[in-house]
Amino acid sequence: MRIITLTAAVAASLALFAGASSAQVTDPLVVDGQTIVTSAPAPDFLDIDEVLSGWNFRTAETRALQTDDFENPAMIFVDQALDDWDTAEGTANKACADCHSGPEEFAGLRAELPRWNDDQGALFNMEAYINFCRTERMGADSLKLAKPRMDAMVALLSLQSRGDIINVAIDGPVADIWERGRELYYTRVGQLDMACANCHEDNYGNMIRADHLSQGQINGFPAYRLKNAKLNSTHGRFKGCMNNIRATPFAVGGEEFTALELYVASRGNGLAVEGPSVRN
């Protein structure tokens, strides 16, 4: 009883200090009994205090879909990827399952991506790892980026790290790429002449017409969007935002978007992997 009153009092006083912006929750996200953090102190290199998952900015109805895997429409695609996992392909006639014990083998991986691949001397995201196995180890075609089969496989592998705290390295061999990503994040582009930061750093929490602006975090990717009823990749989302400001998007899978992915991922250090999430 006492606790309830206190909590209510604290909530009320906090509300006094909150701006006029739209309601924004920071409730914990609980999926099938597992609590997934959706807010955390911001990494040192950011000027903001707190990092917030996009989950906090969605409506109660949209959020509810993500709290139950039977309701989460993304899980249909995860099931499709499980079939793919067992399908032999390529000149080696091998399936993922022939070399990997199961998708669980990749628990924790999503929380560290993208990261430097020493053997290949390049920055690798999940898509790059998947396609590397396909082309170099299976003798199969690479899966097309930002297309259903790839997005589904990324969702399956991301799910293995759900709830894990994102901890993307930004120093060492990736330092220059990270710096490039940072520069892209703050560069104004397009006829509307805006940078990612104008919306996702300066204005998160504000409504932009019908959209409640989030921090543009990628901890929830791939994301199932109600708007297009499919999984959406990180680069696909970046592309959409650039189109909206009437800018020519960089190439999906290209150097710029991969650098941007590293930088944006690092802005979410401290948040948890949510992929596959549900967004509007």
Partner 1 sequence: MKNSMLLAVCASVATFATVQAGEVAPADVAFDDYGAVEMSLTGVAGDAENGANVFKNRKLGNCLACHANSDMASQLFHGEVGPVLDGVSDRWSAAELRGILSNSGNTFDGTIMPAFYVNDGYVRPLEKFEGKSILTAQQVEDVLAYLQTLSE
Cβ–Cβ under 8 Å, residues 249 and 238: yes
For the question of residue 199 being annotated catalytic, the response is no
Contact with partner 1 (CB under 8 A) among 203, 230, 240, 270: 203
CB of 92 vs ligand HEC, minimal distance in Å: 6
Buried b (16+ CB within 10 A) or exposed e, 47-65: eeeebbbbbbbbeeebbeb
Contact with partner 1 (CB under 8 A) among 23, 64, 76, 207: 207
The residues, ordered by sequence, that sit 6+ positions from 60 with a Cβ below 8 Å of its Cβ are none
30 binds partner 1 (CB under 8 A): no
Rounded Cα gap, residues 77 and 271, in angstroms: 24
18 binds partner 1 (CB under 8 A): no
Q: From 103-111, 166-174, 197-205, 272-280, give the range in contact with partner 1 by CB under 8 A.
A: 197-205
Buried b (16+ CB within 10 A) or exposed e, 83-113: ebbeeeeeeeebbbeeeeeebeebeebbbeb
**Run of H or E residues at 85:** helix 75-85
Q: State the catalytic residue, choosing from 96, 196, 199, 241.
A: 241
| Contacting residues toward ligand HEC, per CB under 6 A | 54, 57, 92, 94, 96, 98-100, 106, 109, 129-130, 133-134, 137-138, 153, 157, 194, 196, 198-200, 208, 211, 213-214, 216-218, 220, 223, 237-238, 241-242, 244-245, 260, 264, 279
Q: From 57-65, 89-97, 167-175, 205-213, give the range in contact with partner 1 by CB under 8 A.
A: 205-213
20 binds partner 1 (CB under 8 A): yes
The residues, ordered by sequence, that sit 6+ positions from 26 with a Cβ below 8 Å of its Cβ are 38, 39, 52, 56
Tokens of 259: 């650098």
Between residues 51 and 260, which has the closer beta carbon with respect to ligand HEC? 260
Cβ–Cβ under 8 Å, residues 56 and 39: yes
Which residues make up the interface to partner 1 (CB under 8 A)? 20-22, 187-194, 198-199, 202-203, 206-210, 213, 242-243, 246-248
